[in-house]
DNA sequence: CATAATTCTGTAATTTTATTACATTTAGGG
DNA sequence: CCCTAAATGTAATAAAATTACAGAATTATG
């Protein structure tokens, strides 16, 4: 279990000094790394052995070990930084930066994504008669990907990336249907109109988009995917990765809701695909 | 600068004992974390002060500080582990696991992706008269995404996910064209045939696929995307994320090759898109 | 409400660990 | 081959962490 999370846990049974120590560490973990037992003891007005007992009480070998664990944990949770790519960079350099920036955007999305919104979205999709997915531009491929994943659940799924088709599909929606609008900026006019129309016809609209955007405003439920704009010329487009992970989360939570009924579907699908593949 | 990379650097000017110490740390960094100066000194047969001087020589405060830095670095580079999702998991738990697994698959892809292959692929695409992208199933959305990104370069790009269309397109390829085949397993028969036909007509085939697979065997150049099969029921499909990052890398390297000529294109594209969006 | 039992905390002593000071050796340059 | 400078080791010192024990606080129980 994670050290800092453990210390933050206010429910844990802890003595008065242990509490003081935990609070101090949580308040400024970095600072603790450069302290000795004596320094930390003085900081929270306890004796040195108390600091040591605090560490051993946590299941560690002692104060130095505690600092080591803390350093490791801080390093681990330290958010990655998106790195701008410059024209002089070597290929391996570029690769490293792209991977790092991708990780950074994962961090951002993870921080912004709300559990309960995901849960609600899964509930809506679980109850829906059919699921429709719209996306344009970079989000078009995300919509198709989502369709591919949702096909495994048995519920009818339509993904379309043609605004004329989208209009036609929207016109046929009813209260039992669910429309998922995918847009990074949330400012695509065609998509916002689709959301508006769908809602007018009673369908539930889920937006995978920037919170507060026009598309978000016309959605019943928003899954916030907010990373910074892709301003730099050479920045990889992290937006669709973010959206895809959200799709992953959504479909997995949905799969768990569906439970066993869905495992059978999977088997059928695997058999249907078998003949399209080389044996080995 | 990174500590371990620094120590690995055999070019660095270093005294005999410093070299011994560096080697020992590089050989088993974890072990060093639980050693005292005395223990480490004994291990490499040097005196305790030498160990200390080694640390200060690295610009650190002393041996404890060295251990702290080392612990932090090990934590940072320790590969993430894909975590299986179980039916009892809470939504927030599921989310955390998916993000962690996604990071893990990024690690895998990064380790497997070869610089020089990327460079060659970029060179081929840079010189191509037109670029054609094929993918089926989960890789279909990846092909479309790649198309979306490559459209920024001015070179004609076709992405198709229909096997009949793919046949027709393949028939028209010539020596100056480049076909990119995207397949996670590399065992999709239709795609392997497309690669075969394209090569017969003289086009250069780049495979973004599993090394050694049928599709790879019919490719002129392979960008290896090998992560383990998605066996577990609830495992998110990390394959397409891996492929997408490879696309990111490829297009970015391509952008750098194209240099300034391509910045103008970007401006034109931005203007073309402006009217499809809400102002704010 | 008192008192016993237990847990927590601090003082002081001890041990371990890291660092400094200085002497010696070793390696490189003329 | 000698001189210089850097590198290493020995011994001493300082710092830090841990242990042992005793007193205080808290909790449970009659």
In a 13 Å sphere around the CA of A140, the CA atoms on its Cβ side amount to 18
Cβ partners under 8 Å of residue A92, min gap 6: B115
Could you give the angle at the alpha carbon of A101 between the alpha carbons of A97 and A106, nearest 5°?
Answer: 150
Q: What is the 3-state secondary structure (H, E, C) of A197-255?
A: HHHHCCCEEEEEECCCCHHHHCCCEEEECCCCCCCCCCCCCCHHHHHHHHHHHHHHHHH
Pair A3, A29: CB distance under 8 Å: no
Mapping DSSP to helix (H, G, I), strand (E, B) and coil, where does residue B208 land?
strand
**Nearest nucleotide (C1') to alpha carbon of B15:** D7
Residue B15's pLDDT band, with cuts at 50, 70 and 90, is confident
Nearest residue by alpha-carbon distance to C1' of C16: B36
Higher pLDDT, B216 or A141: B216
Chain A partners within 8 Å of B254 (Cβ)? none
Q: Which residues lie near nucleic chain D, judged by CB under 7 A?
A: A 16, 36-38, 48-49, 52-53, 55-56, 61-65, 67; B 15-18, 45-50, 53
Phi, then psi, of B59 in degrees rounded to 5: 90, 15
Cβ contact, residue pair B71, A72, below 8 Å: yes
The set of strand C positions with any atom below 7 Å of a protein CB reads 7-12, 16-21, 27
* Radius of gyration from C-alpha coordinates of chain B: 25
Cβ contact, residue pair B189, A85, below 8 Å: no
Q: Work out whether strand A204-209 and strand A178-182 pair parallel, antiparallel, or are unpaired.
A: parallel
Q: How far is B165 from chain A (nearest CA, A)?
A: 17
Q: Which of A126, A122, A144, A127 is nearest to A135 (CA)?
A: A144
Nearest residue by alpha-carbon distance to C1' of C27: B15
Residue A275's pLDDT band, with cuts at 50, 70 and 90, is low
Higher pLDDT, B184 or B63: B63
The arrangement of strands across the sheet holding B157-160 comes to B157-160, B131-135, B178-182, B204-209, B221-224
Residues in chain A: 280
pLDDT recorded at residue B232? 46
Residue A42 CA to residue A50 CA, distance in Å, equals 11
CA A207 and chain centroid, separation: 15
When the pLDDT of each residue in chain A is averaged and rounded to a whole number, the result is 85
Q: Which DSSP category does A277 fall into? A: B
User: First CA to last CA across chain B, in angstroms?
Assistant: 41
Residue A143 CA to residue A136 CA, distance in Å, equals 8
Give helix A239-258 / helix A115-127 axis angle, nearest 10°.
60
pLDDT at A239 over 80: no
From B145, which residue of chain A is nearest by alpha-carbon distance? A141
pLDDT at A231 over 50: no
Would the Cβ of B48 be found within 7 angstroms of any atom in strand C? yes
Pair A32, A40: CB distance under 8 Å: yes
Hunting for tokens 């990119």 — which residue is that?
B180
CA B213 and chain centroid, separation: 19
Q: How far is B188 from chain A (nearest CA, A)?
A: 5
Cα torsion through B65, B68, B74, B80, rounded to 10: -150
Mapping DSSP to helix (H, G, I), strand (E, B) and coil, where does residue B88 land?
coil
Cβ contact, residue pair A252, B98, below 8 Å: yes
Residue B32's pLDDT band, with cuts at 50, 70 and 90, is very high
pLDDT recorded at residue A48? 95
pLDDT at A265 over 60: no
Cβ contact, residue pair A71, B74, below 8 Å: no
Chain B partners within 8 Å of A160 (Cβ)? none
Enumerate the β-bridge partners of residue A178.
A131, A204
pLDDT recorded at residue A149? 86
pLDDT recorded at residue A269? 53
pLDDT recorded at residue A104? 83
Q: Which residue blocks in chain B are alpha helix, DSSP H? A: 3-8, 16-27, 29-33, 37-43, 48-57, 63-77, 91-112, 115-127, 138-150, 163-171, 189-200, 214-217, 239-258, 260-274
Enumerate the β-bridge partners of residue A181.
A134, A207
pLDDT recorded at residue B117? 94
Pair A100, B106: CB distance under 8 Å: no
Pair A107, A80: CB distance under 8 Å: yes
Q: How far is A10 from chain B (nearest CA, A)?
A: 19
Residues in chain B: 280
Residue A61 CA to residue A180 CA, distance in Å, equals 52
Identify the weakest region by mean pLDDT among A214-223, A237-246, B7-16, B260-269: B260-269
* Distance measured from the CA of protein residue A47 to the C1' of nucleotide D22, in angstroms: 15
pLDDT digits (tens, 9 = 90+) for A150-162: 888 888 999 998 8
Residue B188 CA to residue B196 CA, distance in Å, equals 13
* Distance measured from the CA of protein residue B50 to the C1' of nucleotide D19, in angstroms: 30
Rank A114-118, A184-188, B62-66, B163-167 by mean pLDDT and report only the highest: B62-66
* Radius of gyration from C-alpha coordinates of chain A: 25
Q: How far is B128 from chain A (nearest CA, A)?
A: 20
Mapping DSSP to helix (H, G, I), strand (E, B) and coil, where does residue A176 land?
coil
């Amino acid at each position: 279990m994670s050290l800092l999370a453990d210390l933050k846990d206010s429910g844990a049974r802890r003595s008065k000094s242990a509490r003081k120590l935990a609070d101090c560490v949580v308040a400024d973990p970095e600072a603790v790394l450069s302290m000795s037992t004596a320094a930390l003891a003085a900081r929270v007005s306890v004796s040195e052995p108390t600091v040591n007992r605090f560490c051993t009480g946590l299941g560690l070998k002692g104060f130095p070990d505690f600092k080591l664990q803390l350093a490791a944990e801080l390093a681990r949770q330290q958010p990655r930084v998106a790195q701008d790519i410059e024209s002089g960079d070597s290929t391996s350099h570029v690769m490293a930066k792209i991977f790092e920036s991708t990780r950074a955007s994962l961090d951002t999305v993870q921080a912004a994504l709300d559990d309960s919104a995901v849960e609600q979205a899964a509930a809506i999709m679980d109850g829906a008669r059919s699921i429709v997915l719209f996306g344009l531009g970079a989000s078009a491929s995300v919509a198709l990907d989502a369709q591919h994943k949702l096909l495994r659940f048995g519920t009818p799924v339509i993904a379309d990336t043609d605004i004329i088709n989208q209009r036609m599909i929207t016109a046929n929606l009813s209260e039992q249907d669910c429309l998922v609008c995918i847009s990074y900026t949330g400012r695509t006019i065609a998509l916002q109109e689709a959301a508006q129309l769908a809602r007018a016809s009673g369908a539930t609209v889920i937006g995978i988009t920037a919170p507060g955007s026009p598309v978000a405003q016309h959605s019943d439920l928003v899954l916030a995917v907010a990373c910074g704009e892709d301003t730099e010329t050479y920045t990889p487009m992290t937006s669709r990765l973010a959206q895809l992970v959200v799709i992953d989360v959504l479909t997995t939570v949905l799969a768990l809701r569906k439970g066993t009924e869905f495992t059978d579907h999977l088997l059928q699908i695997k058999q249907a695909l078998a003949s399209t593949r080389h044996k080995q």
